[in-house]
Every structure is written in C-alpha cells, then in structure tokens.
Structure 1
C-alpha cells in the first residue's frame, strides 16, 4: 500500500502529516503552516531534486518556480526520465542562516529553514500551463525578466521539458537561536554563539555587447536590492 500523502489542507492552510513526511527528530522545529512552506520556497534560488535513475539515487540541483500549490522545474527534453514524467521525486529547498558555535562538539549546529516535498512529477505538455510554468521559473530567478526578453521559440521549447510537482505532501523544518549547550558546559572561557549568513547580490556586470553608457534596467536593480 502506498504511503498516505502529507497533504495541504486547502481550508485551514495547514500541512497534514504522512509517515514519510513526518519529522522523526526535533519535531518542535517543524512548521505546519502552509505559509511557512511558501516562504521557504519563494525565497530560495536552488532546488535539489532527488530521484532514482537506472537503479541508483541521483540528486540534481536546478532552478524552479511556484504557482499556487505546484512546484515547476525544467530540464533538457533529451533526458529520458524528463520526457516520460511520472517519476517519484523528492524536492528540497534549504536556506542556511547561520553557523552555531557551541561549547561542546556535539552541539555545533546550523540555523536554517528547509522545505521537503514528495510526490510524482508529471510532464507538462499542454498550454497555457507550460508557458506559465516557464515564466514562473524565469521570474523566480530574475524577477521582471520575462517581459523584457525574447520568449522561447519552437526549437527552444522542443528542447525543454517541464515537470510539475504538486505540493500536497510536504514538510518544513526551521532552526533559530543560540547553541543548546548542556548546563555543565557553560563557561565564560569558551566562546559560543551564532555567525549569521546572508545571501547578497553584487553590482550588476553588463555583457561585453552592452553599450558602456547603457543604464541598468530597473528590474535588474530590483534583483540587486534583494
């Protein structure tokens, strides 16, 4: 019997657990609000997609986009597993927010926000969903770019496969705060605390074919400001 799905409750906006998506350890770090899932996904840039290919596990880093309760990824249509769809996958997005320095090796840790989604990826072949998915992927990585660039032509579309993963079975786990040292280890002689980590965008660097006096478009500056 297949595992009962961890589904998104469309009425209450909460996540309902299933055996494979229920947190095993440190359950107090779990978030059950659908908004927490969206927050992790919407502020990430890289999704790690895990699947079994030719009998062996594979984890693929890729860009992604979200529309409602569906996560979209894309890849080459030359990949057999992408062309076929119907592949069981696990998608993970993680933010590393800090390194936690403790007074004992056992309690060193990280502050993080992570989302894990399970399901069967389906191949997107019909319009307008396919175009909407590609737009969502581009806009997630580079907001405002879809309307400022050439859209895909037939050859490019033929070379691109789009997969959809319904966010019906997902979990969110978050750690914040200082180290969880044992009381006996707390001493003024050993430094403990958190070194924060943030993702920042640098100054845009124009391509060699861009005129030297050309201004940076507002939508690119918006990305930089984030």
Structure 2
C-alpha cells in the first residue's frame, strides 16, 4: 500500500468489468464518505453473516457502533477479519435490449481486522468524530454521554488494509446493430434528497432550529 493507493490482491481485485475498478484512496474514500450505511461481513462458527450498520471514516480507519449485546459486535470486537461493503445507487440505465439494461452505481469493498475500542475515552472521542462529521457543531449542543451509556455501547474500528471501488457511470452500451432501433434509451438519474425537519412534539417551547443543521440541509 502506498500513500495514495491500496495494494491489488486476490481479495480486492475487480475481476468483472475491471476497467470500472479503482484502487486509489481518493476514489475509495469519496464513496465511503457519501454512504451512511455499510454492510459488515463476518463468520461465526462457520456461518457467514452480513449486518447493515451506520458507519463513519476517520483517515484510513472505519468505525461502527451499537449495543454491547449485539452478536455482530460481540464477534468482531475480538479481532477478526471482516469485509465491509458500501454502495450508492445513481440511476437506471435504459438500453435498447433487456440484456443491456443496467444501473449506475458507486461501491466499495474493504478488508481489515476489526477491534473494539477499549476505553470509555476512546469510545467518546470516536463518537464525537462521527457526530462532527455528520453535523458539525452538534456535539457541543447535546449533553455529554454518561458512563453507563458508554459501557452499554461497543465502538469497533477497522484499519483498511485492502480496498477497491467499482464505479459505473454513463449511458447504455448497446450492440451496434441496435442503435437504429426506434427505442428510447438513456439514463434515469436517481438521487437521495433531504426532507423538511419534523420537530419532536416533546420538545419544550421556544427552541429554534439550529444554524448548524440549517447549513447541513443547505448542502
């Protein structure tokens, strides 16, 4: 692994449509940073499991968290090999034949060894990174985590050892003979949008919507 790329190995090499593969950290990080949910793959007693979870990145390290009673977290915190995937759906690709219909997407597959953060201070610092990354300024507005909350929470980190991105963009790739067919072809873009805020009915009167969240909605 260099400062800018991940090593290409038998695990992370893109074999199907290899020209869509990317191993530079900038491409991998860009996909990870836009995703909110990843899927963590691991094995328990010979049985594979894949668990969706909220995650975040700090440098070359991925983090996720949850209840200390979680099967996934109890398993991966002991230092096991895991595979993390994340993906973004960008649109439908409408071709002139059913065979060539496709989708535009960006995805990442990353490998590493998961470990649980050992101390409450480490957990609290990692959770602050998550909150600051999502909603800058929010951490300073909310009350501090309690000792009991931190004890009940497992925060797992995984240094990315190997990773690859796979990206499909652009229009349909049809057979040459099909381009003259009287069939509409192109792309139907898909994007995720932020909805209007819904106040908690239990909130006390007189609390205004914070400026930092207004900035988040404006992005």
TM-score, normalising length: structure 1: 0.89
Q: Identify the range of structure 1 (191-200 vs 132-141) with the bigger mean alpha-carbon deviation.
A: 132-141
Displacement of 1:211: 4.6
8 Å CA contact 2:120–2:150 kept in 1: the answer is no
Distance, in Å, in 1 between the alignment partners of 2:205 and 2:191 is 31
1:75-94 maps to which residues of 2 (within 5 A)? 75-83=66-74, 84-94=77-87
RMSD: 1.8
Other-structure match for 2:159: 166
1:143-222 maps to which residues of 2 (within 5 A)? 143-211=136-204, 214-222=207-215
Other-structure match for 1:52: 43
8 Å CA contact 1:112–1:174 kept in 2: the answer is yes
- For structure 2, list consecutive stretches of 5 or more residues without a partner in the other structure: none
TM-score, normalising length: structure 2: 0.91
Q: Identify the range of structure 1 (49-58 vs 76-85) with the bigger mean alpha-carbon deviation.
A: 76-85
Displacement of 1:136: 2.3
Displacement of 1:222: 2.1
**Equivalent position to 2:23, from 32, 44, 69:** 32
Displacement of 1:128: 4.4
Displacement of 1:132: 2.2
Q: Does 1:67 align with 2:36?
A: no
Other-structure match for 1:138: 131
Q: Identify the range of structure 1 (152-161 vs 210-219) with the bigger mean alpha-carbon deviation.
A: 210-219
Displacement of 1:42: 1.1
